[in-house]
């Protein structure tokens, strides 16, 4: 069973989330029209993100790949220029720099998708008011007495509306 509680005020929404986690509900989602630090804290999302590992990996990979590409292309297509060295470090560092950033960005994008679980076009519990001006608490996987308990917690916190839906997954 899925329980969706709609709130008009942030503090009610956060109180419901805190009470639900304190009561042992671990499969909850907090939907809001804007980022809320407190909501992230309730879920223990912390002050950093695994996305940073992707950024670092991408930057390292890009840097190595960029330098290797500049060296390799110079060696397979030798273009003597005024007696200068074929492998010239200063200009190749510029290519390295650009590729570091390019792959840093691309890997960050991958990291975002991986960590956030997006794209997720499957039919997940959602209320469109959460994209406008409401805060929605979603409790998934509740069964039996848990449903009534979750509903009570949400109502007691000041929910405007509580909906019960069948689990779709």
Partner 1 sequence: MSQEENKSLFDHGQPTYAEVNEDILSVMLETGPKYWMLLGTMASIAGIFFFMPWFYQLIVGVGAAGMNRNAVWGSYLSNFIFWIGLSHSGTLLSAVLHITNSPWRKAIYRSAEAMTLFSLMTAALFVMVHLGRVWYVHWSFPIPNQMGLWPNFRSPLMFDVMAITTYLTASSIFIYMGSVPDFAAVRDASTGLRRRLYTIFSFGWRGTAREWHTLGWAYTFFAVLVIPLAVSVHSIVSWDFALSAVPGFHHTIFAPYFVCGAIYSGTAGIVTVMYCLRKFLGFERYIGQVHLDSLGKLLITLSLIWSYINVLELFSTWYGGTSFELEALSFRLTGFYAPAYWEMILFCAFVPMLMLTKKIRWSWNKMLVISILINIGMLTERFVIVATSQPRKFLPGAFGYYVPSWIEISITIGSFAIFATLFLIFIKWVPAISLYEVKETLKPLRRDA
Q: Which residues bind partner 1 (CB under 8 A)?
A: 8-12, 29-36, 39-40, 42-43, 45, 48-49, 51-52, 55, 59, 69-70, 73-74, 76-77, 79, 81, 84, 88, 91-92, 94-95, 97-99, 101-102, 104-106, 108-109, 111-113, 115-122, 124, 126, 128, 130-133, 135
Q: Which is nearer to partner 1, 74 or 146 (CB)?
A: 74
Q: Which is nearer to partner 1, 128 or 169 (CB)?
A: 128
CB of 145 to partner 1, least distance (A): 26
CB of 144 to partner 1, least distance (A): 25
What φ, ψ does residue 12 adopt, rounded to 5°? -65, -45
Name the one residue in this structure whose structure tokens are 């008009």: 8
> Judging by DSSP bridges, how do beta strands 161-165 and 28-31 pair with one another?
unpaired
> Does residue 132 sit in helix, strand or coil?
coil
CB of 57 to partner 1, least distance (A): 12
CB of 146 to partner 1, least distance (A): 20
From CA 88, how far away is CA 71, in angstroms rounded? 8
Nearest CA-CA partner of 33 in 6, 2, 15, 4: 6
Q: Which is nearer to partner 1, 121 or 144 (CB)?
A: 121
From CA 6, how far away is CA 26, in angstroms rounded? 19
From CA 132, how far away is CA 82, in angstroms rounded? 64
Q: Which is nearer to partner 1, 43 or 148 (CB)?
A: 43
């Amino acid at each position: 069973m899925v329980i969706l509680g709609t709130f008009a005020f942030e503090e009610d929404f956060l109180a419901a989330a805190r009470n639900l986690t304190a009561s042992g509900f671990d499969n909850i989602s907090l939907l809001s029209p804007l980022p809320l630090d407190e909501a992230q804290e309730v879920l223990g999302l912390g002050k950093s993100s695994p996305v940073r590992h992707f950024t670092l990996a991408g930057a390292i990979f890009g840097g190595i790949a960029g330098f290797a590409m500049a060296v390799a292309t110079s060696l397979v297509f030798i273009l003597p220029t005024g007696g200068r060295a074929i492998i010239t470090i200063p200009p190749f560092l510029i290519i390295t720099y650009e590729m570091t950033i390019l792959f840093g960005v691309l890997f960050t994008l991958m990291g975002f998708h991986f960590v956030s679980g997006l794209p997720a076009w499957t039919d997940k519990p959602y209320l469109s008011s959460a994209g406008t001006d409401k805060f929605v608490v979603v409790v998934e996987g509740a069964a039996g007495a848990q449903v009534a308990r979750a509903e009570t917690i949400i109502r007691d916190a000041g929910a405007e509306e509580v909906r019960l839906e069948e689990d779709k997954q």
